[in-house]
Structure 1
Amino acid sequence: MFRSLRRLPRPRVNRRAVGAVVVAATLSLSACGMSEDTTASGSGAEDTTSCQTRTPVRLVLQWVAQSQFAGYYAAKEKGYYDAECLDVTIQEGGVNIVPQQVLSAGNAEFAVSHVTKTMATREQGADLVNIGQVFQRGAYLQVAWADSGIKQLADLKGKKVGSWGFGNELVLFAAMKGAGVDPAKDVTVVQQPFDMSLLLKREVDAAQAKIYNEYAQLLETVNPETGALYKPEDFSAISLQDAGYTSLEDGIYARGDWLAEDANKDVAVKFLKATYKGWGFCRDDLAGCVEIVLNNGSALGQGHQTWMLNEVNKLVWPSPDGVGTVDQKAWDQTIKIAIDAKVLKADPGEGAFRRDLTEKADQELKAEGFDITGEGYKPETVELTAGGK
């Protein structure tokens, strides 16, 4: 999610990602000699491709290296981008790096971002297009103490409600309004840091969280009264997704003018194909994928990243229409939430997303034996550890 972790001292140096926006590279069309890749699930991977040249492309993420972006790191580490004759540079996000702005400025070919934030940038004149919706489901929670009496959104009336802001409040406010709670009148909204400290200190009655990140931070904290970790029953977690307020999060974006060139459309298909294969690897080899994330400089530990990837996989898989396919109903609801919150003035229209590139990538993957839907996917049971170590 956007800015979901505090920037902590990092034990590893990420030698593969760049630390700042790089000067735009000149794209050249790859000439590849492809040999057959028989990997069916994306969990094998060795680069069996011989490329005369590789097309350099840059991907900018929303935040630092963590399992939220595991599929991209896996695609790079396992050689899937190389197999498509791509030379991919992964740039981490940060406090001063906004992916959709980096993309619109021409300093990346692809960006990972939320629909609402990207469409707001598009409405301001940037020709940004969703070409692959990796996360099929939303992950927002509003978490309170179990003894607070807060069991549903209507119970937030009269309470201190934590929110990160930066656009992350949109879904929460829409859900509250739907439950008869006016965020402007019925609650005290407290600016929440990107952690759960305010809730743990009972300085807010409910705090914003993502199921794959901040919620785990609570369960990785020692209860001073028992000396053991807090348990799910110590909290009341309200899922905005379950309340009917899905808002599409991490998707892949490119510039419309860049995609107008046929050579670049081919590059985009190759990028999507390799990326989806990376997410397939993370689906099928949880531990192996977490190791890749850790090796790319994650600031948090193995326990936390394992929980995160397990929960993120639930957002990606299953993908009934094929991995990366935009669900029209979920898109429409996301846009409606943004318009109701006055973040968007109007529906961005049909050109805001396109399915054809993902459809082609999925068709090629399916022909190679890759499972593009993950219909049989089953999450693992992850035991959290103190501090997420």
Structure 2
Amino acid sequence: MKHSTRRAIALAGAAAAAAALLVGCSSTPASTGKATTKAGLTPVKIQLQWAVQAQFAGYVEAVKQGYYKDEGLDVTLVPAGGDIVPQTQLANGAVDYAIAWAPKALASREQGAAITDVAQIFQRSGTLQISFKSNDITSVKDLKGKTVGSWGGGNEFEPYAAMTKSGLDPAKDVTIVQQGFDMNAFLDGDIKAAQAMTYNELAQVLESTNPKTGKLYTLDDLNILDWSDLGFGMYQDGLWADSNKLKNDKAYQKQTTKVIEATLKGWVYARDHIDQTAADVVAAGSQLGLSHQTWQTNEVDKLIWPSPDGVGKIDTKTWDQTVDIALHTKNGSGATVITAKPDSDAYTNTYVDEALADLKKQGVDVTGEDFKPETVTLQPGGK
């Protein structure tokens, strides 16, 4: 079976499962911060950015371990996929909070979405450009003349910024190919340098069989351009809230601190219990296998920990870098992510600071200074 057929079947199953799944028990509309369930809990909906997977492990664990309930919240995690845009769901009032990449959320904000980043969970970008060593791509300049995969849709600005800074014109010096959210074209040789997240698409390659050896591919088979390490990383998964409610609704303000506090505890649990977390994610509905989710949990933890200023805290330097790339880097059609600097309401550390202060009083390790990732062995197909 070709790589494309096998992976397409897997992704189709994941998308179907995501469409049907709600993690949690609430089926009410987005809350006003005042309604309660029969158990006296406030119903809250959090929109995921994609199907249930370990990318959202902290939220899954906050539900499973009862951290949201401890805060008086009945949280439902709403999977995305297809045409669902998390920040639009939030802006339209369909959910109370949404997980979104900062550049995409800023673009929506510029178009009128009243949303605010209240907790920046991922402290580092997880986007890579990977190639087989036989293609001899060891620097950004080596992309010249190559077929380069890009997901588009706002995911392309890190590599475009890197190529531009290196003196390459993405419109002329490389051949940009629309890449699916899999590694089919890369594995089949149609794309020489493919986009990959550390926690997902890279694993898809490493759990695939090298036809030349009959064994799984390894990192030794690849050259990797890490956009974060090269200075072009942009803020990715953050927790976004309703800007207007943050200004006018005291109940929503208090709720936001509670949501963040429970979420951060979930991420601490995911950091300290990688194997159990992977199993919990699979049980929560992920259609990707246990070894894939264990890899994903481990890699996502690397994007979060250590967090010297406290998990979820928005760093001004990284925020400014994200805004600078979003404002000045042009994609293949000549467009930038945003056309003007976002105003001061685009993010706030107010609520995450409150949550961190309370967690520190509880003795929770919110910096993860001693965090050490594990070595995960992938199985064929991510089983």
TM exceeding 0.5 = yes
Structure 2 CA distance, aligned partners of 1:102 and 1:18? Answer: 18
Q: Which amino acid aligns with 1:285?
A: H
Q: AA paired with 2:193?
A: A
**For residues 49 and 228 of structure 2, what CA distance do their matches in structure 1 show?**
21
Pair 240,82 (structure 1): closer, same or farther in 2 beyond 3 Å: same
Q: Is the 8 A contact 1:30 1:85 kept in 2?
A: no
CA distance in 2, matches of 1:241, 1:139: 7
Distance in structure 2 (CA, Å) of the matches to 1:256 and 1:297: 31
Q: Distance in 1 between matches of 2:328 and 2:104?
A: 14
SS in 2 for 1:8: helix
Provide the secondary structure at the position in 1 that maps to 2:215: coil
1:9 aligns with 2:3: no
What is the letter of the counterpart of residue 381 of structure 1?
T
CA shift, 1:30, in A, is: 7.0
Q: 1: distance between equivalents of 2:221 and 2:355?
A: 44
State how far apart, in whole Å, the 2-side matches of 1:232 and 1:321 are. Answer: 32
Code of the residue aligned with 1:224 in structure 2: it is P
- Residue 387 in structure 1 maps to residue 381 in structure 2: yes
CA contact (8 A) 1:8 1:299 kept: no
Cross-structure match for 1:322: 310
| Counterpart residue type for residue 210 of structure 1 | M
CA positional deviation for 1:52: 6.5
The DSSP-based 3-state class of the residue aligned with 2:104 is: helix
Distance 1:296 1:52 in 2: 23
Task: Say which SS state the counterpart of residue 126 (structure 1) adopts.
Answer: coil
Residue deviations 1:240-290 (CA, integer Å, cap 9, x gap): 111111100000000111112111110000000000000000000111111
2:30 to 21, 24, 35: 24
Aligned residue in 2 for 1:63: 50
Q: 1:285 aligns with which of 264, 273, 290?
A: 273
Check whether the contact 2:24–2:74 (CA below 8 A) recurs between aligned residues: no
Q: Is the 8 A contact 2:32 2:252 kept in 1?
A: no
Q: Which one-letter code corresponds to 1:359 in the other structure?
A: D
Aligned twin of 2:192:
205
CA contact (8 A) 2:31 2:42 kept: no
- Gapped runs of 5+ residues in structure 2? 1-6, 330-335
The 3-state SS of whatever aligns with 1:271 is helix
Cα separation, 2, equivalents of 1:270 and 1:22: 19
Matching of residues 74-153 of structure 1 within 5 Å: 74-153=61-140
- 2-structure distance, mates of 1:58, 1:167: 25
TM-score (norm 2): 0.92
- Structure 1 stretch displaced more, 171-180 or 68-77: 171-180
Bigger CA drift: 309-318 or 199-208?
A: 199-208
* 2:332 aligned residue: none
The TM-score, its normalising length taken from structure 1, stands at 0.90
2:324 maps to 336
The Cα shift of 1:17 comes to 2.9
Q: Distance in 1 between matches of 2:120 and 2:310?
A: 10
Higher fraction of helix: 2
> Who is 1:363 aligned against?
357
**Corresponding letter in the other structure for 1:176:** M
Structure 2 counterpart SS, 1:9? helix
Q: Secondary structure at the match of 1:291?
A: helix
Contact 2:61 2:280 (8 Å CA) reproduced? yes
Q: Is the 8 A contact 1:16 1:296 kept in 2?
A: no
- In structure 1, how many angstroms separate the alpha carbons of the residues matched to 2:138 and 2:75? 45
| Whole-Å separation in 2 of the counterparts to 1:97 and 1:66 | 16
Q: 1:345 aligns with which of 334, 339, 344?
A: 339
Q: 1:192 to 1:70 in 2, by over 3 A?
A: same
Question: 1:347: how far off?
Answer: 1.0
1:297 aligns with 2:285: yes
CA contact (8 A) 1:18 1:92 kept: no
